[in-house]
Chain A
Amino acid sequence: MATPQEKKILVVDDEEDVIFFLTTALEDVGFQVDSAMSVDEALGKIKSSPPDCISLDMVMPGKSGIILFHELHRNQAWRKIPVLFVTGHARDEKVKSELDAAAALSQSTMSGPATYLEKPVTARKFVEAVAQAVKVELEGAAESRGDSPVALKEQLQELMDGADPDALRQALELLRRKSGS
């Protein structure tokens, strides 16, 4: 297994505070981090030194994140870079269909995984997702997900976000199991 120190992550977002937050979270567990505030800036950085994973905002002034994704996909070498979309618009019809299309595309072409996280995202969840994308085992992550109360809360939160009857049933099931155990 690789260590975080060997992996470089590129964080793309148009908000400085978000960049600082995500960068700090990644650096704290040892990743190398670079950042860009626009699609064009990101492309420049990818050209000069391709990262191992890209954290990408969807909606930005000028070009949107999905344009960068398709740009990556046109390039044989860049296609393999896993992309983690971090967006507050994951439930907009258009953004959602773009995310689905991106996920399907990355699967059909055997390129890097394209997954997404919905803002607001916790540092822990974000770092875990990045680690998974670049296949890195984090220190202290041995604690199994289902057992910590924080993890349970996050799992529940995730289900509540989906908020359809099915998800609610699942959430209830999870709580029953927890209280029964």
Chain B
Amino acid sequence: MSDTRQLLHDHLFDQAPIMIAVLDKDFGVVEANARFQNLFGQWRGRHCYEILKGRGSPCDRCLAAWTFADGQVRVCDDRLQLSGDVTSHFVVRVAPLTSEEADGEPHLIWIASNANEAGSLLRENEVLFERAPSYITVLDRDLRIIRANKRMRETFGRAWGRRCYEVYKRRDRPCRVCPALKVFETGEDQTSTQVGVSATGEETHYIVKASALSRDEGPDGSEVKYVIEMATDVTHLHMLEKEKLEAERLAAVGQAVAGLAHGIKNILMGLEGGVYVMESGLKQNQTAKIERGMQMLDRNVQKISDLAKNLLSFSKGRVPEVAMTDPADVCREIHELYSDLARQAGIDLSLDLQRGVRPAPLDAAAIHTCLANLVSNAIDACQMSENKNCRVVLRCFEKNESLGFEVIDNGCGMDYEVKKKLFTTFFTTKGAGGTGLGLLMTRKIVQEHGGRISVESKPGQGTNFRILLPRERLPEPGSGTDNGTGGREAGPKNAKK
């Protein structure tokens, strides 16, 4: 038995996948195993600081010295010098060596396990995973969370062993758009925007990236075994964005209300005039004047009722119905709608559709109204122009991740006064023919799509109206019927390859 122990001991000493040395209190190496010698070279008669650090004197911070002093076991990470001027990473453990035979001369046992780079990286990763200011989870093929980091647990509560959709969204079945399932299926990275519910019940917006973590070699080839989901919380950004859009909308309504005064003033002027002209006709017994006065009253009463109708549609609006729409289709519809009118007026109405403009989540009917307003304005501008060869171009293009529309004409153009009032008032230069609401409506719709409308115009040369809708700010498909429960998923607009 004792022989076996001795044998085992000798073998273990030399074969264990660790480096072992025994140090005396002057840090001289008095014993070492074969692995130690293999790795660090000749040790007999040398000190540990010479062998392991290439130094001529003991280290400033010396684990062994502390352990000699207090007898405590110590563990540390250390970078040690291998034979041949290479360094590598180790986990070092020092413990007092007590022996029955020892008679007071203290020794230490020094053990190093070859932690190497992988080991140190592993620890770094551990810190990264646990402390990252993101939600990180590892999912198995059943969508069960097998690991979740600190931030995730703090925000969404107990996660381990539960399904991701239960924890993130309080759903009882997988989400309609599931980046993790897509990764399991394709092996490719997925990114999407999601809305979850935190442990305290708050709506939480996050952009999640899902990647394959490890693969399994099965009989049918390899398949993704685990997926890691890393999510950045964008709730604050989302709120800011929403507040900004809301502020823009309110500003538009405010301007509309301020501008309403102009519309009413003009109508009052008409009514005032009608009454006066009629009275004047009655006094002078002139039938023609009385009739004219009546007509003026009629027209202005009609204007009031038009204004009221338009105002109602402006203030209430309809619930926007957002669906994936091909912008080029809307342009073609507008072209078809106005080509006859343009031809009769001798105006060349053409389409310029850039290739590869992707479908976008739009309220198609509203965008139709927008473009119809602009094209009809452009045709009016051409008719008021002295230019014989008038043309109107409706363009659709993609620029810097924004969807763009342009309506360009070479009609009468606008001077500075007119341009300035375009969007700010119930303003019309068309006399009785305009309500002054068309461009206001147009701008409202553009703003509801998170976009901007701008205009360039020169008197006598023409006008260019441009709408830019940044794709990032477009509404979400189906947002007209949003139930607000947080079970929403972003549409394909966010899925990046």
Contact = CB atoms under 8 A, between A and B. Distances in A.
Contact of A122 (B272, B289, B292, B418): B272
A66 B432 CA distance: 22
B425 A18 contact: no
Given A64-B418, A66-B417, A88-B265, A14 B273 contact: no
A21 B429 contact: no
Given A21-B296, A28-B280, A61 B430 contact: yes
Interface in B7-46: none
Nearest to B384: A61
A119 B415 contact: no
Interface centre among B273, B300, B459 (most CB of A within 10 A): B273
Contacts of B296: 17, 20-21
Nearest to A119: B269
Interface in B275-325: 276-277, 280, 284, 289, 292, 296, 299-300
A87 B32 CA distance: 104
A29 to B, nearest CB: 11
A121 B459 CA distance: 30
B273 A20 contact: yes
Contacts, number: 89
Nearest to B417: A64
A165 interface: no
Contacts of B168: none
Interface in B423-482: 425, 427, 429-432, 459
Contact of A24 (B289, B415, B420, B429): B289
Given A14-B429, A59-B427, A61-B384, A94 B270 contact: no
Interface in B237-287: 262, 265-266, 268-274, 276-277, 280, 284
B269 A64 contact: no
Interface centre among A16, A17, A58, A64 (most CB of B within 10 A): A17
A15 B432 contact: yes
B277 A24 contact: yes
A94 B418 contact: no
B415 A64 contact: yes
Contacts of A95: 417
Given A14-B429, A59-B421, A59-B427, A20 B277 contact: yes
Given A21-B273, A121-B272, A94 B412 contact: no
A89 interface: yes
Nearest to A88: B265
A62 interface: yes
Contacts of B384: 61-62
Contacts of B430: 61
* Interface size range on A against B: 20 to 34
A161 to B, nearest CB: 10
A92 B412 contact: no
A118 B262 CA distance: 11
A92 B276 CA distance: 28
A123 interface: yes
A18 B269 contact: yes
Nearest to B266: A88
Nearest to B268: A120
Main secondary structure of the interface of B (DSSP, over half): helix
Contacts of A17: 270, 273-274, 296, 299-300, 432
Contacts of A60: 429
A167 interface: no
A15 B276 CA distance: 16
Interface string A57-95: 011111110110000000000000000000011001011
Contacts of B292: 20
A180 B172 CA distance: 79
A108 to B, nearest CB: 23
A123 B274 CA distance: 11
A89 B289 CA distance: 29
A92 B429 contact: no
Interface in B389-425: 412, 415, 417-418, 420-421, 425
Given A20-B296, A88-B262, A89-B262, A59 B429 contact: yes
A25 interface: yes
Contacts of A22: 273
B265 A119 contact: yes
A120 B272 contact: yes
B276 A21 contact: yes
Interface in A103-142: 118-123
Interface in A1-56: 14-18, 20-22, 24-25, 28
B270 A18 contact: yes
Nearest to A63: B415
Contacts of A121: 269, 272
Contacts of B272: 21, 120-123
Contacts of A28: 280, 284
Which 9 residue pairs across A and B have the least CB separation, nearest first? A21-B273, A61-B429, A120-B268, A120-B269, A64-B417, A88-B265, A123-B276, A119-B269, A120-B272
Given A59-B421, A123-B276, 16 more contacts: A15-B266, A15-B431, A18-B270, A24-B277, A28-B284, A59-B418, A59-B427, A61-B384, A61-B412, A62-B412, A88-B269, A92-B421, A94-B417, A120-B271, A120-B272, A122-B272
Interface of A: 14-18, 20-22, 24-25, 28, 58-64, 66-67, 88-89, 92, 94-95, 118-123
Interface of B: 262, 265-266, 268-274, 276-277, 280, 284, 289, 292, 296, 299-300, 384, 412, 415, 417-418, 420-421, 425, 427, 429-432, 459
17 contacts: A14-B429, A17-B270, A17-B274, A17-B296, A24-B280, A25-B276, A25-B280, A59-B417, A61-B384, A62-B459, A63-B415, A63-B459, A64-B418, A95-B417, A118-B265, A119-B268, A120-B271
